[in-house]
Amino acid sequence: MTINLLDFNAKNLASFCGEIGEKPFRAKQLLRWIHQSGEEDFTGMSNLAKVLREKLSATAVVKPPQVISEHISADGTRKWLLDVGVGNGIETVFIPEPSRGTLCISSQVGCALECTFCSTGRQGFNRNLGVAEIIGQLWWANKVLGTAETEIALKPRHLVGESMVVQPLGQNHKVSNVVMMGMGEPLANFENVASALDLMLDDNAYGLSRRRVTVSTSGLIPAMDRLRERCPVALAVSLHAPNDKLRDQLVPINKKYPLKELLAACQRYLKAAPRDFITFEYIMLAGVNDSADQACELVKLVRETPCKFNLIPFNPFPNSGYERSSVEAINRFRDVLMQAGLVTTVRKTRGDDIYAACGQLAGRVLDKTQRKGREIMGTAR
């Protein structure tokens, strides 16, 4: 069986090198070739001995997920639909900004948590992604964004089978930040996500700062504690409600891990976190969770937890059953939080014209949960 070297972090790659009779330092060389140079052809790894290159060609590959389609938004956001086999596809989004380029990575095919406002959660769940499928999203984005030599006009496009790059004037077109906020619940796929995080942080691979890598979770408390011990990066928690009654409806995992326990886990996480606050994500749903009274309730809820809020205007998708809060309602909610001394930002909607905005990722999932007895095709087709 051919081994995909994208599945290996530094420790596992060193073990593999030992198994084929090579010294551990070869692992560092391979990491640099694969992740820093984006090299997938062993014959091109010029500082490796010919015998080693022959061994690698006979036993291993560097194989990221293949691109099915690419969409480019009017605002420069790019979305790729990647093939992960057996009719399944995942979505990865790159958001260029003046000071950074953020890549939003998926961790599962679909999602089992069924958050009611999320397009991914409506699809069902097929499986966890492997390490190669997770880190392969970053590998692919770096290769495309880092090697493109041409600029194209900034306008909406739907591209299939092409590699083109949007490079708007004054925007960062390389990956500087990674957020595990794509399809799936990252902490429900803990081991594979943790190994991918190892590679993101490894100086011989991507060399990202812990502050520039963020894992988002709906609140899987045991896994939050494991992440704190194993690989503490920046943490974002999908809160979305100021009390258990409403959160039980919006984020069903709350029935297992209620708010009091979740906030205690956040406080524990901060002891090892690279930032001195937790980011709470809060989707703004008209008439559901956006009143001034609910903002006041939220202030009381988090008063013992160092935090900042990211208010996210709801991004519509077909048959969602929700509407986006008005600008007035969002600003009123924000003002209540800020007057209480809580740092609060309103997320700018990016890529909604190509269904790449927060909560819109759908991909293509063959549902294995029996919640829907048919193949569900997502928005990126």
Partners of residue 236 on adjacent β-strands: 216, 279
Judged on CB neighbours under 10 Å (0-12, 13-18, 19+), 287 is exposed
Catalytic residue from among 17, 118, 307, 358: 358
Distance separating alpha carbons of residues 83 and 331, to the nearest angstrom: 40
Q: Which helix (H) or strand (E) holds 222?
A: helix 221-230
Joined together, the tokens standing for residue 148 give: 């493109």
Q: How far is CA 121 from CA 110, 163, 309, 348, 355, in A?
A: 7, 30, 23, 22, 15
Quote the CA–CA distance of 266 and 303 in Å, as a whole number. Answer: 12
Catalytically annotated residue among 17, 22, 70, 91: 91
Whether 104 sits among the annotated catalytic residues: the reply is no
The Cβ-side half-sphere exposure at 254, using a 13 Å CA radius, reads: 21
Instruction: Single out the residue of 84, 16, 83, 90 nearest to residue 55, CA to CA.
Output: 16
Let me know if 91 is a catalytic residue. Answer: yes
Strand ranges, E, within 123-168: 125-128, 157-159
Catalytic positions, please?
Answer: 91, 358
